[in-house]
Structures are given as structure tokens and as C-alpha cells.
Amino acid sequence: MTALAPLALTIGDPAGVGPELAAAAWALSDAEALLPFFVVGSARVVEEAARRRGITVPVCAVKTTDEVADRFADALPVLDLDDLPYTPGQPDDAGALLALNALATATGLVRSGAASALVTGPIAKSRLARVGFDFPGQTEFVADVCGITPEHAVMMLAGPSLRVVPITVHVSLRSVPDLLTVELIRSRAAIAAAALARDFGIAAPRLAVAGLNPHAGEDGRMGTEDGAIVAPAVAALREAGIDAFGPLPPDTMFHAEARERYDAAICMYHDQALIPMKALDFDEGVNVTLGLPIIRTSPDHGTAFAIAGTGTARVGPTIAAIRMAGECAKRRAMP
Ligand SMILES: NC(=O)C1=CN([C@@H]2O[C@H](COP(=O)(O)OP(=O)(O)OC[C@H]3O[C@@H](n4cnc5c(N)ncnc54)[C@H](O)[C@@H]3O)[C@@H](O)[C@H]2O)C=CC1
Ligand SMILES: NCC(=O)COP(=O)(O)O
């Protein structure tokens, strides 16, 4: 197998925890056996963030990704897009523009093959919106750049204990029942099944499909969506040869014994999926976008502005996101 191109890690919002966690991940890259990666963002911000965190991380500016493999052992390579000052916890428009530029640049590098996978640092959606970002999140932005419709870019949160796929994502809870359709559930679950096989090596993934309502509707007494929408979607998945089952009562499908029975839980809305996952695996959780021509992962947490620059942000999710991106890239590179 030829050597993989390095992984591209975006800085995220430079006032958040992204820069220090990129530096901390590099400091642990030997111990964690991470594939070589480079940061897309600002060398000055990463350098100052490392210093503030109290870790020794030499930073080297690179112009092309060809330089990364040779430099990575001795320094953290950074594709330097802007020379901003480091202002942890104080986001501003210049930082949001850098986050956006880094995301666009890194996505382009992965699409061109100059990097083998995209690992995005955390951004604040509201801050990016102020500088013209017109997407619900990074998921939809990357999908758009790749020419994939938002319906076909599927969010999965994955940790050591649980994988979850929210069918509806960054929408109001009030709008969820109206957005759920048999086709949306079927197609997103089918994309998840295909990606679990292709990128995660699970040949016949088992999908546990959550109901929307308490007790999965209790035969229509607590809502009709489970019988009218979720059950037919599960039937359609089974007809297509996918090992899906449900709708399951959501409150009893996440305990330890229940989790043994499936490889991913298909959930009807954001918090039904992300609350159990973050309760179990917050410190190792990865957000991965399924259904894209490229690999994209991210730590499961946000910008955490309140703790940026304090040295208390835990690096586990960033390491897990880099590791997962590398493993998926290796799997895709296999003949
Ligand atoms: N992947 C991404 O880009 C994501 C971005 N966000 C964005 O982040 C911003 C803040 O969102 P919040 O809901 O406050 O979520 P958050 O994840 O930034 O913070 C939630 C809580 O977890 C703590 N925390 C987060 N990461 C941590 C770490 N590595 N180590 C230790 N503690 C950590 C924070 O201090 C806070 O108490 C929002 O603007 C949101 O849009 C949120 C989730 C994912
Ligand atoms: N709650 C997950 C999240 O906010 C991540 O969104 P994205 O920026 O990865 O689309």
C-alpha cells in the first residue's frame, strides 16, 4: 500500500479549545500512534495556545502537504492562513472568518487527494453565521462542497459504548414530527448501514431504530408517528436486506444489555441521539459524517469558550477523531 497523505485538522474557532487541542494531540501523537496530520489555520494561534496550555509544541509553517510527513516527527505542521493574535474565550468576526477559511481550504485539500481525511475543529455556528456562513453546521457545508445534498450527508456520533445517528439534526423540536418521513428515515439509515460496512468494517450492521414517542407510541395511544412513519421505514430497510429493527421504546434501548444487540441506534432527533452518547462517551466521542466521497470526523464537543486557554479542555475526543479518520482512510485505501 502506498503511504497515505496526511490528515487535515482544521483549527476551528481560534478563540475556542480547537487550537490547544490540536497542539495537545500532536504532543501525544507518538504515544497514541496517530497518523501524521497538519493543522489548517494559524501558526501563531496554535503556538500561543500550546504555550498557554504549558506544553512544548514546536510549530512549523508548511506550504504544501508534501512537507508534512518529513516534518511531523519534530514539529506540528501548520498551513498558515492568517496571523491572528490568540484571544481564548473572546470570539470575534476575524476568528470566525479564519475558521471558515480553514474549513473550506481543508475540505478542498481532502477532495484533491492532498490530504487523506478531514478532521474539523469546533466552530460556533452562531459566530460563523455572522460572517455569512449559511449552513446549519459543518456537516452540511462539507456535503455541499462535495456536491452531496444535505439529506444524504448523515451525522453519526460514535464512542466506545454507542453509535447514534440522528435522523433530524439542527432543527427545532417542534418541527421534528413534520420533518420525519418514511423515505427520510429509510434513506438515512441505509446510508448509515452502507458506511458502517465500508468505513467501519461491520459487514452486516444491526440498526436499532428508536420510536419518536414515549413507549414507541404504545399502539397509537401516545402518538401515531411510530406506527405510521417509523415502522414502515423499518420494514423498507428490512426488505432491502438491512438488519434493522424497531421502532423501539427510546427509554429502554440505551442500557448496557440493550446496546449489545446493535451496532448503531437510529434516532429521530438530535437530543434523543446525542444525550445518551455524550452521557456515556463524552470524553472519547467522535462526530463523523457518513455518505460523503471524503472522510470527515470531528470531536463531539463544541468550542467550549469558557474553558479555552485554561488548560482544562480534555484532548480525548480530538485524539479519537484523528484516530477514526486515519482508520477510515486506511480502510478506503485498501485494494
Ligand atoms: N463540532 C462542532 O463544531 C460543534 C460545535 N458546537 C458549537 O459549540 C458552541 C458551544 O456549544 P455548547 O453547547 O456550549 O457545547 P460545548 O461542547 O462547547 O460545551 C459544553 C460543556 O462541555 C465542556 N467541554 C466541551 N469540550 C470539552 C473538553 N474537550 N474538555 C472538557 N470539557 C469540555 C464545556 O466547558 C461546557 O461545559 C455552540 O456555538 C455550538 O454551535 C457544538 C457541538 C459541536
Ligand atoms: N451537535 C452536533 C454538532 O453541532 C456538530 O455539527 P457539525 O458542525 O458537525 O455539523
The closest-lying atom of ligand 2 relative to the alpha carbon of residue 120 is: 9
Q: Which domains does the chain have, with CATH numbers?
A: 1-149+293-335 (3.40.718.10), 154-291 (3.40.718.10)
Provide Rg for the chain, Cα atoms.
20
Pocket test for ligand 1, best of 103, 303, 312 (most atoms within 8 A of CB): 303
**ipTM entry:** 0.97
Return the DSSP state at 297: E
Query: Is the confidence at residue 2, as pLDDT, over 90?
Result: no
Percent of the chain at pLDDT > 70 equals 99
- Predicted confidence band at 335 (pLDDT cuts at 50, 70, 90)? confident
The strand pairing partners of 210, in sequence order, are 248
Note the pLDDT of residue 266. 98
125 is in an annotated binding site: no
Residues whose beta carbon lies within 6 Å of some atom of ligand 1: 17, 122-126, 138, 287, 298, 301-304, 306-307, 313-314, 317
Percent of the chain at pLDDT > 90 equals 99
- Look over the chain and give the mean of its residue pLDDT values, rounded to a whole number: 97
- From residue 245, give the alpha-carbon distance in Å to each of 71, 122, 231, 249, 284: 49, 34, 9, 12, 27
- Predicted confidence band at 113 (pLDDT cuts at 50, 70, 90)? very high
> Of 49, 68, 259, which is closest to residue 159 (Cα–Cα)?
259
Query: Is the confidence at residue 280, as pLDDT, over 90?
Result: yes
287 is in an annotated binding site: yes
Query: Which residue spans within the chain are E strands per DSSP?
Result: 7-10, 37-41, 59-62, 76-80, 117-119, 154-158, 163-166, 206-210, 243-248, 264-267, 286-290, 296-299
317 CA → ligand 2 middle, Å:
14
296 is in an annotated binding site: yes
With contact defined as beta carbons under 8 Å apart, do 299 and 189 qualify? no
Note the pLDDT of residue 3. 85
Pocket test for ligand 2, best of 125, 146, 156, 292 (most atoms within 8 A of CB): 125
Pocket test for ligand 2, best of 138, 270, 295 (most atoms within 8 A of CB): 138
Note the pLDDT of residue 215. 97
139 CA → ligand 2 middle, Å:
7
Q: What letter represents residue 225's amino acid?
A: E
What is the pLDDT averaged over residues 210-220? 96
- Predicted confidence band at 180 (pLDDT cuts at 50, 70, 90)? very high
Note the pLDDT of residue 214. 96
* pLDDT tens, residue by residue, 297-319: 999 999 999 999 999 999 999 99
136 CA → ligand 2 middle, Å:
8
What is the pLDDT averaged over residues 36-65? 97
Q: How far apart are CA 281 and CA 163, in angstroms?
A: 10
- From residue 277, give the alpha-carbon distance in Å to each of 156, 191, 329: 10, 20, 24
